[in-house]
Structure formats: C-alpha cells, structure tokens
Structure 1
C-alpha cells in the first residue's frame, strides 16, 4: 500500500486507528504488555506522519489510552498537549477520561483534578470507569470530602459511581472517625436511589461492625477502562 502510485489503496487514519487498537487489545490489562506494544504503536504513528496522513482525535486517543493504561502518564500527557498546537485536534471526553483514570491510578489526584475541572468547564463528562477511579483515588488519598462532592456532582450530571466506589467513600469517612458523615452519605445514596435500603443497611452494618484499623479499601479490583 505504501509504495503504490494509486492513492486509493493508501492507508488512512482509520486504517492506522484499527492497527493501533488491535495491537493494544493484546495487553488485556497488563501494564507492561501494554507498554511493550506501545513501542509498535509509536513506530506506526511515526510512519503515519511520514506518509503525510494527518491524525484525528480518535487516532490520538488510542495513543493517550495506551500510554495511560501502561501508567506512562507523562507520555500520555505529552500527546495530549500536542493535540491542538501540533495536529489541530480537539481533545474530547475520551481523551480527558483516559488521563483522569490513569492519573488517579497513580495517585496523582491534583493533576487528575486539574484535567477533570478542565473537561467539566467544556461541558464534557468523564466515562464511568474514569469517574470511579477518580472518586476512589480522592477517597483513599484522604480527600474524602472532595470525593463526596465529586460523587454528587457526577450523579447530578447522570454519572453514578459503582458500588465499590461509593463504599470507598463511606468507609474512608468511617476510617477518619467521621461516622456521622458515613451514615449521612449512606442515607443520601438510598434517597437518590443509588443503593437500595437493604444495601445501605448492609453497608452501615459492615462499617459499624468493623474496627477502623480493619477497614481496607486498597485491595479492590478496579473496573476496566
């Protein structure tokens, strides 16, 4: 395709996007495998540019996602900051979501918050996995009041965090000795229909039955990207 004089069979941005996605799908959540395949994706991306094929947001998002999933966030941020000035592409909700998710996974809540605020300022909503990762990271980092605020903001916008994440918020309030706040959050979760009355009672019982030093929100499996 590359050497053909006929422009019809030449690869397009869509062709490269398909290749990038296929390569990264082999990682299956393994950060090291993802990064190994990112070398191939980066080489293909350079080839794409050399052939004069302009990338679009969707193609650049695959790069951002690949670097973020392999926890090489500085590389992901580099691509993000090049999108507008270098390639004329506007970051979308997926771009921001991959970054917020990855930064949250690294515990870089301040950077995640900056990007979260930026995307919300544009009227964009993060994906559900990004919401869960961000709220959970804030709670575990001891920023539980902020985690609660973000949780309600997202719920109002139509993004409801999962049971693992809401439980993390409640448990971190309890861990901090704020049992009244923990009880209040559970009641609000019930009132908003996010958890059933039975689920809320089970959550409260588990908190009140456990000692603070036995509470653990760090060993949970996270949801996918």
Structure 2
C-alpha cells in the first residue's frame, strides 16, 4: 500500500491487529496499537480496535489450564476495557459481550453482573448473546433456575428471543440434576417457539424420561422434531458436500 501511495485507514490497521492476535503475537499487536495511539497519528484507534484485544485476551485465557494465566489474561482484558473508557470511547454491545463471555467462562460472575448492570445504565441494550453467556454459566454450575430466569428476563425486557443455543445448556443441566419433567417442558417450549433441538439433546431427554419412568413426548411432537432434524441435516449436506462424503465413508466402513 505504501508503494502504491495508498494511505491505510483504521480498518486496515484493525485487520492487521486481528491477524496478529489470532496468531498469538500480542507483542506486535500491542506495538501497533501504541503507534495508533501516538499524538497526531494518521489512524487513531476506534472502539473495534480495543474490542479485538478484549476478545482475544478472553479467548486466550480459556486455552490454558493454568489458573494464574487465566487470571492474568482476564485482568488484561479488564485493563484494556478501562483503557478504552479512559480514551473516551463508548463500548458497544459487542465489546460488552466479549468481556462478559470471558468472565462467565472463567467463573467471575460478580464482575460479569457488574458489567451487565453497567450496560443498562449506559443505555447499551444487551442482546441474546449477552444473556446466553449467563445462561451457559448458570447451567454449568447447576443453577438451572437462574438460567431459566435469565431467559425469561430476556423475553420480558424485549432484548431477544431464546433459541436452541439458549435452551440446550439448561436442558442438559436439568437432565443431569434428575429434573426430567422440567427438561421435557423446556424441550416442548423450544419446539413451540420454532427452534429445532440438536439430536443429542433430543435423545438425552427421551432417554432420561424413559429411565425415570416418566411420560414421554407425544407421537405427534416426536415426528415433528425428527422431521425438522432430518430437514436440517439435508440442508447441511447440500452446503457441505465434504460431510456427505465422510458419512458415506463411515457407512461403508461400518458395513465392512
């Protein structure tokens, strides 16, 4: 670009920063950010520049099994968030979602709730991605009632509609806790809302109901779910021919 006398803009810089972070070279990425923050720089950073760092700090923290490294990465993400505010930038819902998701996955729920409340105070409305982070956390720690409460709150406040990604962790948590009736009711609610459950989730609920001696799903509902799953599988096979070839190979190998 310099040879062609093209001036790189902030989008070009963000692309390079994102590539460096994806490659794990935070040192060079941070050096580029420092160059962008210099007084009189041609391409000063924008909110998305800081969001890239926050997202990758949280992502890298989850790829290590060392608790000290996880705390360090999350601390860096919070530090970058505060630095962004100090520079006068207003974080958007994507920035909040990156940090909240990292905090929930690293079990720092208090700080995540603080950010959630801060979003509402600043007038930044959360979306389904925000609520799903809390739903997954409460499902993992076996607090399914709080996860359901977050889904209900999302609907009541008009911040989104729960989908398969919202229901799935809660249903699994309920089945693990032996609350198969509640899991069945949530599965029915999900289907009535227009979402198709994953095959593993559907089989988990059916097996749990059968094992506990509870009434299973109606034949009409079962045929509807299985028909929707079959239609989804056919759509996936059309856009992913490599998966179709893999399935044929597996079937032939099984027959042999």
Please indicate the TM-score interval, normalised by the length of the shorter structure: 0.7 to 0.9
Candidates 79, 90, 94, aligned match of 1:58? 94
Q: 1:168 and 2:201 equivalent?
A: no
* 1:17 pairs with 2:33: no
Of the three residues 113, 132, 138, the one matched with 1:97 is: 132
Alpha-carbon distance, 1:126 to partner? 3.1
Kept in 2, the 8 Å contact 1:128–1:161? The answer is yes
Measure, in 2, the Cα distance between the counterparts of 1:135 and 1:141. 10
Task: Write the distance in 2 (CA, Å) between the matches of 1:186 and 1:76.
Answer: 42
Tell me: CA distance 1:186–1:144, structure 2 relative to 1, closer, same or farther (3 Å). Answer: farther
- Count of matched residue positions in the alignment of Structure 1 and Structure 2: 191
Partner of 2:223: 190
Unaligned runs of 5+ in 1: 197-225
Q: Is the 8 A contact 1:170 1:185 kept in 2?
A: no
State how 1:50-199 maps to structure 2 within 5 Å.
50-85=86-121, 87-121=122-156, 122=158, 124-178=160-214, 181-182=215-216, 184=217, 188-192=221-225, 193-194=227-228
**Partner Cα distance (1:76, 1:153) in 2:** 28
Contact 2:125–2:159 under 8 Å retained in 1: no
Rate the CA distance shift 1:30–1:164 in 2: closer, same or farther, 3 A: farther
CA RMSD of aligned residues (A): 2.5
- Highest RCO, 1 vs 2 (Cα 8 Å, sep ≥ 6): 1
> In proportion to residue count, which structure has more helix?
2
8 A contact 2:171–2:187 mirrored in 1? yes
Alpha-carbon separation, structure 2, partners of 1:29 and 1:99: 20
Q: Secondary structure at the match of 1:21?
A: helix
SS in 2 for 1:160: coil
Distance, in Å, in 2 between the alignment partners of 1:185 and 1:67 is 40
Whether the 8 Å CA contact 1:35–1:66 is kept in 2: the answer is: no
- Tell me the alpha carbon deviations over residues 50-71 of structure 1, each in whole angstroms, 9 at most, x when there is no partner: 1111111110011111111223
- CA deviation profile, 1:8-55 (whole Å, cap 9, x unmatched): 633221111111222233245657565542111011001111111111
User: 1:107 Cα deviation (Å)?
Assistant: 0.9
Gap runs ≥5 in structure 2: 1-35, 231-256
TM-score, with length taken from structure 1: 0.74
Which has the larger Rg? 2
Q: Distance in 1 between matches of 2:72 and 2:193?
A: 37
Looking at structure 2, the residues matched to 171 and 29 of structure 1 have their Cα atoms a distance apart, in angstroms, of 33
Taking a change above 3 Å as real, the CA distance of residues 34 and 163 of structure 1, as seen in their structure-2 partners, is farther
